[in-house]
Chains A and B, each alone.
Chain A
Amino acid sequence: MTMNWQTPAGMTRRHFMQHLAGSSAAVTASMTMGNAIYANAEELKKNHKSAILLWMGGGPATIDIWDLKPGAATGGPFRPISTSGDLQICEHMPMVAQQMHNLSVVRSMSTREADHNRGRYYMHTGYVPNPNIEHPSYGSVIAHETLEQRPELEIPPFVSIGGASAGPGFLGMAWAPFSVTSNGRIRNLEMKLEDSRLRERMYALEMIETGFAKRTRDVPAYEHAKVLKKTFDLMTSSQMEAFRVEKEPEEVKERYGTDGFGQGCLLARRLVEAGVPFVEVDLGGWDNHNGIHTILKDNKLPQLDRAMSALVEDLEQRELLKDTVVIWMGEFGRTPRINQNAGRDHFARAWSCVVGGGDLKGGLAVGATNSDGTAVDTEPFSSEDLMTTVCKGLGISTEKTFTSKNGRPMKIAGGGKIISELV
Chain B
Amino acid sequence: MSRFTLIALVAFLPLSSPAADSSQPSQVAMIDQMIEQGWENFEIKPAAVAEDEQWCRRAFLDIIGRIPTGAELEEFLEGSRHDRRRELVERLLHDDRYTEEYAGHWATTWTNILIGRSGGNDRRSMISRDGMQKYLRDSFARNKPYDTIVRELVTATGSTKPGTENFNGAVNFLVDKVNEEKAVLATSSTSRIFLGQQVQCTQCHNHPFNQWKQQMFWEFNSFFRQTRSLRRFVDGTRDIDHAELIDQDFAGEANQADDALIFYELRNGLTKVAYPVFTDGTEIPKSGFVSDVNRREELARLMLDSEYLDKMVVNRMWSMFMGYGFTKPVDDLGPHNPASHPELLEELGKAFRGSSYDLKQLITWITLSRPYGLAPVLGSANEIDDPSIGEMPKFSRFYLRQMSAEQLYQSMLTATDAASSGSYEEQEQERRRWLSQFVVAFGTDEGDEATTFNGSIPQALMLFNGDLTKKATDSGRGTYIDRLASSGKSPVDRLNYLFMNGLARRPSVNEKKVASALLRSRGGDEKEMLQDMWWAILNSNEFIMQH
Contacts and interface: CB of A to CB of B under 8 A. Distances in A.
A58 B204 contact: no
Contacts of A209: 540-542
Contact of A235 (B200, B443, B445, B464): B464
Given A197-B532, A289-B445, A176 B389 contact: no
A27 B389 contact: no
Interface stretch (B90-98, B139-147, B408-416, B452-460): B452-460
B521 to A, nearest CB: 5
Interface string B526-547: 0000001101110111100101
B389 A211 contact: no
B189 to A, nearest CB: 14
B181 interface: yes
B79 interface: no
B211 to A, nearest CB: 17
Given A188-B464, A209-B540, A282-B443, 8 more contacts: A23-B513, A58-B445, A118-B201, A164-B450, A179-B458, A204-B518, A221-B545, A231-B457
Contacts of B448: 116-117
A169 B450 CA distance: 15
Interface stretch (B27-35, B69-77, B254-262, B374-382): B374-382
Nearest to B271: A340
Contact of A216 (B201, B378, B466): B378
A104 to B, nearest CB: 25
Listed from nearest, the 8 A-B pairs whose CB atoms lie closest are: A284-B443, A57-B443, A132-B390, A19-B517, A406-B389, A204-B536, A231-B460, A405-B389
A140 B205 CA distance: 33
Contacts of B181: 289-290
Contacts of A179: 440, 452, 456, 458
A178 B458 contact: yes
A205 B465 contact: no
A234 interface: yes
B400 A216 contact: yes
Nearest to A19: B517
B78 interface: no
B389 A187 contact: no
Contacts of A156: 457
B269 to A, nearest CB: 6
Interface stretch (A222-230, A360-368, A385-393, A394-402): A222-230
A191 interface: yes
A287 interface: yes
Q: Which has the most chain A C-beta neighbours within 10 Å: B460, B516, B547?
A: B460
B40 to A, nearest CB: 23
Contacts of A274: none
B537 A208 contact: yes
Contacts of B545: 212, 220-221
Nearest to A287: B445
Nearest to A211: B508
A38 interface: no
B201 A234 contact: no
A164 B447 CA distance: 12
Interface residues of B, number: 70
13 contacts: A23-B509, A58-B443, A118-B201, A132-B390, A156-B457, A163-B441, A176-B454, A179-B456, A188-B461, A205-B535, A227-B460, A285-B443, A404-B389
B122 interface: no
Interface in B429-477: 437, 440-446, 448-450, 452, 454-458, 460-462, 464-466
A189 B518 contact: no
A204 B515 contact: yes
A188 to B, nearest CB: 4
A203 B441 contact: no
Given A116-B446, A178-B457, A221 B328 contact: no
B337 interface: yes
Contacts of A120: 442
A189 B465 contact: yes
Nearest to A191: B465
B329 interface: yes
A90 B514 CA distance: 65
Given A200-B521, A217-B378, A221-B541, A24 B444 contact: no
Nearest to B532: A201
B171 to A, nearest CB: 24
A114 B446 CA distance: 13
Contacts of B445: 58, 287, 289
A82 interface: no
A289 B180 CA distance: 10
Interface string B490-524: 00000000000001000011110111111011000
B521 A15 contact: yes
A199 to B, nearest CB: 10
Interface string B202-237: 001100100000000000000000000000000000
Given A203-B514, A208-B536, A212-B542, A114 B461 contact: no
Q: Which has the most chain A C-beta neighbours within 10 Å: B442, B454, B460, B539?
A: B442
Interface in A332-385: 337, 339-340, 345-346
B388 interface: yes
Given A114-B204, A205-B540, A163 B443 contact: yes
A207 B514 contact: yes
Nearest to A13: B521
B390 A133 contact: yes
A190 interface: yes
Interface string A222-256: 01100110110011000000000000000000000
